[in-house]
Amino acid sequence: MIKVFVPRDSSALSLGADRTAKAIQQEAQKRGIEIQLIRNGSRGLFWLEPFVEVATENGRVAFAPVQPKDVAGLFDAYFLNPDSSMAKAHPLNLGLTEELEWLKKQQRLTFARIGITDPVSLNDYLAHDGYKGLANALKLSPAEIVKTVTDSGLRGRGGAAFPTGIKWNTVLGAGEKGVQKYIVCNADEGDSGTYSDRMVMEDDPFVLIEGMTIAGIAVGANQGYIYLRSEYPHALHILNEAIAKAEAAGYLGDNICGSNHTFKLEVRRAAGAYVCGEETSLLESLEGKRGLVRFKPPLPAIEGLFGKPTVVNNVISLATIPIILDKGAQFYADYGMGRSRGTLPIQLAGNIKHGGLVELAFGATLRELLYDFGGGSYTGKPIRAVQVGGPLGAFLPESQFDTPLDYEEFSKIWAVLGHGGIVAFDDTVDMAKMARYAFEFCAIESCGKCTPCRIGSTRGVEVIDKIINGTDVEKNTKLVRDLSDTMLNGSLCALGGMTPYPVLSAMNHFAEDFVPKPKSALKKIIDIVSA
């Protein structure tokens, strides 16, 4: 039977993938053709969703984007036999998916299966190298697993880039023998411009489950929680379905794969607070409290969830563990540059023509991502600014587009890679407004524990408004800079501590936008603001 693939990823659904799937099913029925319709994950070429594929002997052939109105025409052109001359000539025929430049240029390690498999089919997962990492881990001692992760050079993909193996080692050595420990997956993915966690959970949930299981075995934790943002209802259902299947097949629960290891997993829903992505706030929330950030020390690795030693890792960090255990530390470490080893799933977002998921070894430049992959802006206007690393990341001007994606290189230009989201803005962006929004967002999301963040953010909005209105620009610019200094140095967590990144980078690189309308005395004010 001919296999037809229509993605079930949320972004594909957001562009009508369900309606396309239904139209294909109905048309096939009408014509008496039997097909097997598979709802796979997305390949991540979101500008081409709904991205339909037909299986052939030589691989899958893509037809995209397919709207319901295109379906009858595709059947008329015999698209189920993509080698036929009519199917070949169809304008939506993109040829073999694997041959698409956009995919061929990538190094998909963490995303190796995504878009290929049916996310909730355990058999599909197993047929595509699933659970090979766990099989290897079960042959190693906990310390050997941790060493493999350390040697791979993997650093946390949630933003702080802390070496994962070192964190695990602390948890491995924490507490008395037999003490309760936890693995907590940070699936709060609150940064604008990011969706790689969502894709993993919706499009390949077993890889996250496998990664968490290995983490549990490595550090001696028998319980895991996935703290999932409430904005991701599809991910919730898919994760729960996958967890149930993994349990039924003996990959979760007691005596995993016949070993004497126990690992149980539960999804917990967050409730729409950005700050709960911060690991200690997250733990408070999991304990059923308000998400107030905790003082550190103690580190969560020593006293985490319910006071017990806890690994808190991002979805991508955990989902990368299986391939490291499968292919070895060196295999992973061979990718990347400097101290940024391996690959980063980069998410192209905002005003970009070809938005989507690009997994690459560290080291590619922003320019390559924005133009070679992204195809420039969506509107066709020049890209004027990009924000990398979410709402707490700096805005970068054109002159910095040649910066390679590498933690250290970004930190040299006072920017961050964060969770790998890149949001492009064309030349209609008003950077004073973006700076104002950064303060506004901080004010809305502040947990309220420390004054610089709680009060500073609200004050920041007021002062930027004054600058925009042309009131005492010199005095108020100084005030924003002082306020930013206080927030940078006096905040307990990065919400208050990094809001100055977008604010000050906007002022430093785009001073001309902080000019009151009408644009009189333009030059003078530019000099004041950028000084």
Partner 1 sequence: MANALPVEISTTIQSLIAQHKNMPGALLPLLHAIQDTIGYIPEDSYLPISKGLALSVAEVHGVVTFYHHFRTHPVGKHILHVCRAESCQAMGSEKLEASIKAKLNIDYHQTTSDGAITLEPIYCLGNCACSPAVMMDDEVYGRMDNQKMAELISEARAS
Instruction: Tell me which residues touch ligand FMN (CB under 6 A).
Output: 156-160, 162, 186, 188-190, 275, 277-279, 312-314, 317, 493-495
Among 80, 171, 450, 483, binds ligand SF4 (CB under 6 A): 450
Give backbone dihedrals phi and psi of 375, rounded to 5 degrees, phi first.
70, 20
Which one-letter amino acid corresponds to residue 306?
Answer: F
Query: Which of partner 1, ligand SF4, ligand FMN, none has residue 32 at its interface (CB below 5 to 8 Å by kind)?
Result: none
> In this structure, what token pair is assigned to residue 502?
């977008």
Residue 492 as a binder of ligand SF4 (CB under 6 A): the answer is yes
Query: Which of partner 1, ligand SF4, ligand FMN, none has residue 454 at its interface (CB below 5 to 8 Å by kind)?
Result: ligand SF4
Among 114, 145, 447, 503, binds ligand SF4 (CB under 6 A): 447
Closest-CA residue to 207 (of 335, 113, 140)? 113
In angstroms, rounded to a whole number, what is the distance separating the alpha carbons of residues 157 and 318? 9
Using DSSP, state whether 463 is helix, strand or coil.
Answer: helix
Query: Which of partner 1, ligand FMN, ligand SF4, none has residue 513 at its interface (CB below 5 to 8 Å by kind)?
Result: none
Q: Are strands 223-228 and 182-187 parallel, antiparallel or unpaired?
A: parallel
Q: Which is nearer to ligand SF4, 387 or 491 (CB)?
A: 491
Residue 446 as a binder of ligand SF4 (CB under 6 A): the answer is yes
Burial of 333 by CB count in 10 Å (0-12 exposed, 13-18 middle, 19+ buried)?
Answer: middle
Query: Which of partner 1, ligand SF4, ligand FMN, none has residue 446 at its interface (CB below 5 to 8 Å by kind)?
Result: ligand SF4
Q: Do 209 and 319 form a contact (C-beta atoms < 8 A)? A: no
Query: Which of ligand FMN, partner 1, ligand SF4, none has residue 234 at its interface (CB below 5 to 8 Å by kind)?
Result: partner 1
Residue 454 as a binder of ligand SF4 (CB under 6 A): the answer is yes
- Residue at token pair 């990347």: 336
- How many residues sit close enough to ligand SF4 to count as binding (CB under 6 A)? 15
Instruction: Give the footprint of partner 1 on this chain (CB under 8 A).
Output: 10-11, 13-15, 46-47, 49, 189-195, 197-198, 230-234, 268-274, 285-291, 306, 347-352, 355-357, 378, 387, 391, 421, 423-426, 429, 434, 437, 441, 444-445
Beta strands in 175-309 (DSSP E): 182-187, 223-228, 264-269
Q: Shortest Cβ distance from residue 160 to ligand FMN (Å)?
A: 4
The dihedral of CA 480, 482, 485, 490: what is its sign? Answer: negative
In angstroms, rounded to a whole number, what is the distance separating the alpha carbons of residues 160 and 87? 48
Q: Shortest Cβ distance from residue 388 to partner 1 (Å)?
A: 11
Closest-CA residue to 15 (of 36, 60, 45)? 45
Q: Shortest Cβ distance from residue 361 to partner 1 (Å)?
A: 21
> In this structure, what token pair is assigned to residue 216?
């549990």
Q: Shortest Cβ distance from residue 306 to partner 1 (Å)?
A: 7
Q: Shortest Cβ distance from residue 53 to partner 1 (Å)?
A: 19
Closest-CA residue to 168 (of 214, 234, 130, 209)? 214
What contacts 177, CB < 8 A, 6 or more positions away? none
Q: Which is nearer to partner 1, 326 or 445 (CB)?
A: 445
- Residue at token pair 């139209």: 23
Q: Which is nearer to ligand SF4, 174 or 495 (CB)?
A: 495
Alpha helices in 446-472 (DSSP H): 451-469
Draw the binding track, 266-305, toward ligand SF4 (x: CB under 6 A; -: no contact): ---------x-----------------x------------
What contacts 141, CB < 8 A, 6 or more positions away? none
- Name the helix (H) or strand (E) containing 172: helix 164-173
Residue 453 as a binder of ligand SF4 (CB under 6 A): the answer is yes
Among 495, 504, 506, 511, binds ligand SF4 (CB under 6 A): 495
Encode 325-353 in three state secondary structure.
Answer: HHHCHHHHHCCEECCEECEEEEEEEECCC
In angstroms, rounded to a whole number, what is the distance separating the alpha carbons of residues 305 and 287? 7
Query: Which of ligand FMN, ligand SF4, partner 1, none has residue 317 at its interface (CB below 5 to 8 Å by kind)?
Result: ligand FMN
Q: Shortest Cβ distance from residue 112 to partner 1 (Å)?
A: 20
Q: Which is nearer to partner 1, 362 or 425 (CB)?
A: 425
Q: Shortest Cβ distance from residue 119 to ligand FMN (Å)?
A: 21
Encode 127-147 in three state secondary structure.
Answer: HCCCCHHHHHHCCCCHHHHHH
Q: Do 252 and 243 form a contact (C-beta atoms < 8 A)? A: yes
Q: Shortest Cβ distance from residue 180 to partner 1 (Å)?
A: 10
Residues lying near ligand SF4 in the complex (CB under 6 A):
275, 293, 446-450, 453-454, 491-493, 495-497
